Chain A
Amino acid sequence: MNIHPTTAGMTLAGILFVLGLISMLIRRNMIFMLLSVEIMLNAAGLAFIVASSHWAQPDGQVMFMFILSMAAAEVSVGLALILQLYHQLKSLDSDEASRMKG
């Protein structure tokens, strides 16, 4: 079938993104949530690359580079935070961290 490559790439990015979203919604373990964020970031990066190829401009790839660096910084800080939470709550359950309720 003749699917335009951009459409195919975007659809793939969409599927990956939604998978990450589902994972985010159904997991209670904090590390899995972080993982889901990574999946979603990756999918967004894919979308950028596809767009870059669509317009034949390097801007999308530049965007992806920034996403990469941001993801790196975010993962390191996020893991440090998860470590602190683990020490505080003695569990990795995100539902335990619900003192802001009500």
Chain B
Amino acid sequence: MLRVSRRPKFVRYSALSVFLNGLSGNANWRPAWRTPQPKPHYDVVIVGGGGHGLATAYYLAKEFGVTNVAVVEKGYLGSGNVGRNTTIIRSNYLLDGNNPFYELSMKLWEGLEQDFNFNAMVSQRGVLNLYHSDAQRDAFTRRGNAMRLHGVDAELLDRDAVRRMLPFLDFDNARFPIQGGLLQPRGGTVRHDAVAWGYARGADMRGVDVIQECEVTGIRRENGDAVGVETSKGFIGCGKLALAAAGNSSRVAEMAGLRLPIESHVLQAFVSEGLKPFIDCVVTFGAGHFYVSQSDKGGLVFGGDLDGYNSYAQRGNLAAVEHVVEAGKAMIPALSRVRLLRSWGGVVDMSMDGSPIIDRTPVGNLYLNAGWCYGGFKATPASGFCFAHLIARNEPHPTTRQMRLDRFARGRVIDERGAGAQPNLH
């Protein structure tokens, strides 16, 4: 008698598998991941089943051979910011504490779908930052050159070049005329939810337990070391505990007695009604808070500034909506008759210098991945990869050496904007 294979029939996603399953009424598709009950103990428990937590689990299993791993998520998979952002990826960073890390992320994005066998619609449509003054041009020149020095693609466009690319921007009646822009051609967008799903499926296939609707309520410490988490599904012991709960980092870290250089803020994002192709690349306004791209489904996806106050509410207020929309129409007057379909809010970890933290903590066996501000999505692959590196090898990946928790005490902040220790200015 044949042994019944435990592997699903068409485990690998491909045009062929879609075709064959289609012929059989799609009745044979298996769950993309299991629904496991937690085991009493894992080598690594990751708190947070968002993009970063799932990516960490995926790379731990795939690249570092650590497979006895659980990801615990208080809601559903990807219920945090991985499903609430404006889907932009880019590596146009200025400082050497950030730039190599985000470029690593970009390189991982570029091979991601084939790597985890899930179409996340990585689309390198270009990211263009507009400038409206000599000072902005000079700042972009500085940044573009920093990118070039690290081998990152960057192009400085003048007004005519921007006009050729996006003739419908307000060139003729603007309060702050567009002078040009800094373009990263490899920047673009990714279908955000699919990133969480792809990593979850890839991690699950390699033995990681992804446990949804499992809220962490406490961190158990023995002799100063973290040894496990109390959860809504009982205690789960672990050799190493990794926090990847951006938005709620402060609350989780507090369970281990840590106070972080982080405030939680709400950032709103928006989508318009579906339109036929309207704008091809990602554009960022330089004279107000507005960035926009168009999804494959046709909606204009856009965002702007933080509401500005500490919040855990995942919803913002009308004043911030108006602020963003005004900037949008200032940049593209023709948006006037386009309608906003939906607004939503995500709670982001705003760190005190605007840059993330991937580091060990003063608590033994406790690892921290936090402080992503509103840049977390684009960082997902590198964040997972580098956090996995840190957890597995107990030493930072070369690109995250500056992303230390003690950098504030040491005076080694990574402050791209030079805004100082006020999170809502970053």
User: Does chain A bind chain B?
Assistant: no
